[in-house]
Amino acid sequence: MVRETSLSPSDFILPLFVCPGEEVASPVSSLPGAFQHSIDQLVIVAKEAFDDGIPAVLLFGLPESKDAVGSSAWADDGIVQRALRALSEGVPDLVRIVDVCFCEYTDHGHCGVLREDGSVDNDQTLDNLAHQSVSLARAGADVIAPSDMMDGRVGAIRQALDQEGFAETPILSYAAKFSSAFYGPFRDAAGSAPSFGDRRGYQMDPANGREALHEVELDVEEGADLLMVKPAMPYLDIVRRVRDRFPHPVVAYQVSGEYAMLRAAAANGWVDYERCLMESLVSIRRAGADMVITYGARDAARLLSQGWNE
């Protein structure tokens, strides 16, 4: 009766990885429960998730080919573009959110175009992000979620979407994205680990909270519609501060490493996976997140349907 925070399957967003081929469902060993799915399998899983009450998926692509700039990210027949068409057809009411970034598409694994010295060229990358976003919107993306952390990207993407007739397509900005060691298993799942260096030049320092709010503010000024904090559990203070300061919907990403830790400890018999998952999700919601992106979305939805809240 007096419980302050609730969980419902409608609070969750399920990340999915789409790869070339047919009838592919290859498990990601460092991320139990996550798979690389070919488009046919992706549609089946997305339909099941939607039937479990999960309203939205977040799509990541594993392209057939990579190059220095990541041009397959804006190909009209690219892997995510094709997946979007199949999902629009197969599960029309599911919300299709797409991750916009280049680390899965460049042969060096960085999130943008490189200069000769190996650093990322922020401004040149902006044009490519705009291209990628428009191409994904054309293929049926409902929400554009840029995760690259280039300065000015939300504005550049907003302008391009508006010009191309997608003024109504919202942007879910990875507004406060920290340079985190908790992304490890994701880079196995998406094949996106940088071949040299790290992402500290464009992702945020875990030590900085005020700077995170400043980053969020810039994205709001540039037109972000929904705001993301990532990772979630090590940054619950940031979730709370963003909640208190901005009226926008707040989304927190329980990232691969956070989720893999629960699974690994549970596999050793050290913690109870189900209880830890649900406790982590309710904590993220209590901190102020409206929605949580989690690899445990389907497990949580199943537990809720079995009466977990009671």
Candidates 66, 230, 241, 285; catalytic one? 230
Number of residues in contact with ligand PBG under rule CB under 6 A: 11
Q: How far apart are CA 224 and CA 263, in angstroms?
A: 33
Q: How far apart are CA 218 and CA 171, in angstroms?
A: 14
Q: Are 149 and 178 in contact (CB under 8 A)?
A: no
Catalytic residue flag (residue 177): yes
Work out which of 103, 120, 130, 171 binds ligand PBG, going by CB under 6 A: 103
CB of 255 to ligand PBG, least distance (A): 4
Q: How far apart are CA 133 and CA 73, in angstroms?
A: 9
Q: How far apart are CA 126 and CA 234, in angstroms?
A: 29
CB of 246 to ligand PBG, least distance (A): 21
How many residues does the structure list for the chain?
Answer: 310
Catalytic residue flag (residue 66): no
Residue 57 interacts with ligand PBG (CB under 6 A): yes or no: no
Collapse the DSSP code of 195 into the 3-class scheme (helix H, G, I; strand E, B; otherwise coil) and give the result.
coil
Site string for ligand PBG, 104-123 (x = CB under 6 A): -------x------------
Instruction: Report residue 238 as tokens.
Output: 């940031």
Instruction: Report residue 255 as tokens.
Output: 């990232």
Work out which of 147, 169, 280, 294 binds ligand PBG, going by CB under 6 A: 147
CB of 97 to ligand PBG, least distance (A): 12
Residue 256 interacts with ligand PBG (CB under 6 A): yes or no: yes
Read off the amino acid at residue 187.
R
CB within 8 A of 157, min separation 6: which ones? 100, 129, 130, 133, 144, 146, 171
CB of 106 to ligand PBG, least distance (A): 11
Site string for ligand PBG, 266-285 (x = CB under 6 A): --------------------
Residue 173 interacts with ligand PBG (CB under 6 A): yes or no: no
Per the omega criterion (within 30 degrees of 0), is the bond before 247 cis?
no
Contact residues for ligand PBG (CB under 6 A)? 99, 101, 103, 111, 147, 183, 186-187, 199, 255-256
